[in-house]
């Protein structure tokens, strides 16, 4: 199957709509909620209601960060049997929304990364039961760092309930979301294969938000530490199969990342695009024009730098589209998802910081949003697997080595 690099016609209205939302609703309140850290952006309630309405009417597909659908109804096939579905629609619309503001996108009700986890792993009954929830995702723990396989939070079956005990840190939307997808182990002696994810409704006894973090960027988004002490959840809230398959190992849990990493790549692509667009405009105001028909070395140094950044951005953009398109067409995309996340995370941070540098005092001050985009973009190279972890995954896939063989 061949990939067409043009935007699918059926998604162009969605992308245009997302861009208008970013420009007219997110940008105007971006600085306000950057300064008012931990204050809930109430303006998003109306936007979330609009997206819900579009979803119910069937007028949109993948608006906001609704994430990845496991079902086969993600799109219609053309004559060649190629499907452009919810994965592609999601990354395209998320990139546009993050052209407006990454932190506000991450604060959208019912659009959390936990929602993607549910869509990726849940069975049909669970997908229907948890439809419409706002789910954060709790993976990281003190001392585990990037090694998700070293999770210490435990889940012990007691009758018809699992009892969760442990601590989770850096949970995006951990205070605002009404459900949390918690990764825990059924048996630490069995290693990666015993790690499962559980949907825990907010307010469940034994679950409490311990604190909110102060951060470099994405200040509009709340980032929480959550404690679980004898927290009991129905056994039906274990996503997917409760069986421990040592042959499959960690693959079931990691399938979530194959779906969420392109979404994070899209966030970086959108934020970097915002910085490039504004920088080009500011350079033009200063008399520096960028000529795509002339060699870079014959142009102003700032123009040459912008050309190099645009090339880096285009590579990240195409990798993002490829990873999402492969998911829509049911092709294994673990390698491509990590490549997209690694490339977009790195160049997103490089581009936004370089734009600050090119624009000098305007870029460094709060006169424009460039300095904010530079701060916001850094997290996109860290969460959902750091740059170093993505490169390790890519190396394992390319070389055909296991995690035990290449650490």
pLDDT digit string, tens, across residues 150-188: 899 999 999 999 999 999 999 999 999 999 999 999 998
Domain end point (choices 90, 109, 126): 126
Residue 39's Cβ-side half-sphere holds a number of Cα atoms within 13 Å equal to: 12
The answer to whether residues 88 and 143 belong to one domain is no
- What CATH number did the domain enclosing 53 receive? 1.10.540.10
- What CATH number did the domain enclosing 202 receive? 2.40.110.10
Specify the number of domains making up the chain: 3
Q: Is the pLDDT of residue 404 over 60?
A: yes
Q: Does residue 140 fall inside a structural domain?
A: yes
Q: Does residue 405 fall inside a structural domain?
A: no
Closest of 121, 118, 11 to residue 63, by C-alpha:
11
The answer to whether residues 226 and 190 belong to one domain is yes
User: According to the model, what pLDDT value does residue 71 have?
Assistant: 45
The answer to whether residues 30 and 111 belong to one domain is yes
User: According to the model, what pLDDT value does residue 69 have?
Assistant: 44
Domain end point (choices 205, 237, 269): 237
Q: Which of 56, 213, 384, 405 is catalytic?
A: 384
Q: Does residue 321 fall inside a structural domain?
A: yes
User: According to the model, what pLDDT value does residue 407 have?
Assistant: 87
Q: Does residue 77 fall inside a structural domain?
A: yes
Give the integer Cα–Cα distance in Å for 125 and 403: 33
Structure confidence at residue 269 as a pLDDT band (50, 70, 90): very high
Mean pLDDT of the chain: 90
pLDDT digit string, tens, across residues 231-262: 999 999 999 888 887 666 555 566 778 888 99
The answer to whether residues 383 and 269 belong to one domain is yes
Q: Does residue 246 fall inside a structural domain?
A: no
- Report how far apart, in Å, the C-alpha atoms of 220 and of each of 2, 120, 170, 172, 349 are: 40, 26, 14, 11, 19
Residue 79's Cβ-count burial label (10 Å; 0-12, 13-18, 19+) is: exposed
Q: Does residue 4 fall inside a structural domain?
A: no
User: According to the model, what pLDDT value does residue 347 have?
Assistant: 97
Range of the domain at 166: 134-237
The answer to whether residues 275 and 151 belong to one domain is no
pTM (predicted TM-score): 0.92
- Report how far apart, in Å, the C-alpha atoms of 361 and of each of 58, 349, 353, 365 are: 47, 19, 13, 6
- The answer to whether the CB of 320 falls within 8 A of the CB of 340 is yes
Q: Does residue 328 fall inside a structural domain?
A: yes
Closest of 347, 336, 280, 262 to residue 311, by C-alpha:
347
Residue 293's Cβ-count burial label (10 Å; 0-12, 13-18, 19+) is: exposed
User: Does the active-site annotation cover 125?
Assistant: no
Residues 58-84, mean pLDDT to the nearest whole number: 50
């Amino acid at each position: 199957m061949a990939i067409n690099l043009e935007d699918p016609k059926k998604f162009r209205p969605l992308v245009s709509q997302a861009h208008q939302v970013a420009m007219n609703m997110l940008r105007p309140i971006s600085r306000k909620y950057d300064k008012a850290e931990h204050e809930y952006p109430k303006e998003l309630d109306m936007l979330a209601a609009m997206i819900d309405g579009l979803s119910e009417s069937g007028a949109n597909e993948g608006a906001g960060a609704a994430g990845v659908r496991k079902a086969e109804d993600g799109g219609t096939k053309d004559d060649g049997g190629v499907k452009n579905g919810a994965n592609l629609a999601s990354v395209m619309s998320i990139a546009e929304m993050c052209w407006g503001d990454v932190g506000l996108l991450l604060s959208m009700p019912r659009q959390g990364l936990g929602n993607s986890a549910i869509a990726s792993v849940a069975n049909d009954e669970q997908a229907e039961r948890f439809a419409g929830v706002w789910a954060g995702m709790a993976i990281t723990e003190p001392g585990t760092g990037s090694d998700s396989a070293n999770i210490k939070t435990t889940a012990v079956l007691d009758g018809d309930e699992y009892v969760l005990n442990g601590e989770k840190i850096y949970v995006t939307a951990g205070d605002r979301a009404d459900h949390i997808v918690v990764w825990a182990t059924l048996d630490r002696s069995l290693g990666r294969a015993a790690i499962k994810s559980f949907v825990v409704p907010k307010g469940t006894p034994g679950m409490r938000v311990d604190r909110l973090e102060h951060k470099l960027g994405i200040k509009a988004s709340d980032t929480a530490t959550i404690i679980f002490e004898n927290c009991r959840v129905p056994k039906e809230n274990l996503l997917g199969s409760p069986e421990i398959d040592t042959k499959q190992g960690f693959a079931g849990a990691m399938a979530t990342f194959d779906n969420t990493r392109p979404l994070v790549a899209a966030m970086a692509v959108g934020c970097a695009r915002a910085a490039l667009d504004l920088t080009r405009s500011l350079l033009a105001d200063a008399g520096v024009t960028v000529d795509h028909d002339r060699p870079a070395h014959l142009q102003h140094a700032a123009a040459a730098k912008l050309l190099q950044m645009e090339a880096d951005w285009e590579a990240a953009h195409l990798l993002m589209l490829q990873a999402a398109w492969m998911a829509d067409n049911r092709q294994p995309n673990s390698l491509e998802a990590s490549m997209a996340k690694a490339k977009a995370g790195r160049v997103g941070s490089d581009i936004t910081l370089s734009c600050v540098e090119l624009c000098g005092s305007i870029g460094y001050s709060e006169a424009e949003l460039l300095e904010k985009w530079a701060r916001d973009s850094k997290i996109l190279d860290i969460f959902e697997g750091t740059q170093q972890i993505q490169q390790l995954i890519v190396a394992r896939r390319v070389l055909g080595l296991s995690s035990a063989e290449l650490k």
